[in-house]
Structure 1
Amino acid sequence: MSGAVDLTALKERADAQRQQAQRPAQATRTAPPADGAAPPSGDGGAVIDVTEATFETEVLARSQQQLVLVDLWAEWCEPCKQLSPVLERLAGQAQGSWVLAKIDVDANPRIAQAFRAQSIPMVVAIAQGQPVAAFNGVRSEAEISQWVGEILSQLGDVLPGAEPADAEPEQDDPRMVAAEDKLNGGDFEGALADYRAIAEAEPNNVEAASAARNLEFVLRAQAHDPAIVDTAAPADVDAQLAAADVLLLSQQPEAAFDRIIGVVKVTAGDDRTRARTRLLELFELFDPAEPFVVAARRKLATALY
């Protein structure tokens, strides 16, 4: 995962928030000392609750000296409730070789966005300020121990006191330039094909994947008859999803999301899965911290569970 996730925005947001309020007492207690040495991670410091405001210090800065496992979870997530106790127990037994940073994705949506979290629980290993490995879903204690052991073995002596290497200046990807030229020239289908090809060849290319998602939505929504908003039958899943596209294209995200959540409530099996998947795809078109996205995610969780 190294280089696939840009955590700069989280660092900048944390800087701004710290200028408005002092750090909580617990965050101050668990922060790395000024000399850069990692604090002891015994029973008191092996597990840390992290927010957007403390992410830079508790995760990015700490990861320069100590492996940090980020646990992305939520109160409504049942698999999270199975995985978190296992992670916490292993962290307590790690004797300072790594620390567990727990992050509630509902309270800290920008962090989930930065990690491109499609589902939770998600665990991301951070070293020297960058993600180095990750997994989704529930794993056994033995599997997690082996996974962490392999990461620590690969890192070797890199972490203690190491300085990150100077990054080479990024060069414009000629494939992305060509796709953008097509987009600016009005060849939307050609641009979409190019972005898709790049994203398929490089699953971690966030820019190409995002551009493809946005173009896919716009082209799909423009193909619908706007009248579908009024004519869609309640039991017609395809028509309701089309109506949601039209509503979203006309800048009515709350109404669009509510349409699909209504489908989720009254369907089951493949139809319900299809509606849920479409709604999650539409969420990705927005900043996850948008109030209407946060509200829709909670409505979806209620409808599902």
Structure 2
Amino acid sequence: MQHLRELAQAARDKEGRFQVVGVDLAAAPGVMQALTPVLQQTFGQVTALPVVIGLVGGQPMPFYLGVQPMSQVDQLLDQFLQAAVTNGVTGRVELADADAAGGEADEDAEAELPPLHQAAYDAVERGDWTAAQQAYEQALREDAGDEQARLGLAQVQLLERTSRMDLTAVRQAAADRPTDVQAQLDAADLDVVGGHVEDAFVRLVDLVRATTGEDRDRVRTHLLGLFDVVGSSDPRVGKARSALMSALF
């Protein structure tokens, strides 16, 4: 696709500050299912292809639907890269040379995933959340320090939960019932999937302050799980951990 090649060229122009990956959504329904909540939150109904999103620290940032002029895309990319810097993501990827046929990235240059990670990734593409969780759990049994497996497991569990949610109903329930634990947990999940990580953390820290006993422990445990989704190195997690400790003690 011409637009994909233009995005790949933009990545080269930005000297590897971001990486472009193309996914055939028709052949990977699990990916589309996982992204549906955040796409609905931004675009409503998806009526055009391609669907272009960015990922910063594993969190999706919807860009646009359909082919857009590169002059407008460049502005979005600048905003995306600024958001990445704000969130402490400043690395660069090593870009493969363009091939003679038309600038496609050399697929052989991509690092192979460990077998269990690949199995989990393939399961996500199929929409098989159970198989993906089992693969990551097995990876953690074999190596308890596998941080990528821990992060992947938490993300798959979140995607599995939110894939069954009605976005409008969840938001309305959270607004109508501010002390309803399940309503707020569901809304926090959608906050994270939608890229509103700090909103999710503030929502649950406030709920910890407003609850006691088993309800408080349930909220605390759920919040710790969302920390795993975002990743311990994310500065928003460190800030929220401090707020949680203050709320608890």
TM-score by length of 2: 0.47
Q: Which has the higher helix share?
A: 2
Q: Which has the higher strand share?
A: 1
Query: Structure 1 length normalisation: TM-score?
Result: 0.40
**Structure with max Cα Rg:** 1
Return the structure number with greater relative CO, CA threshold 8 A, min gap 6.
2
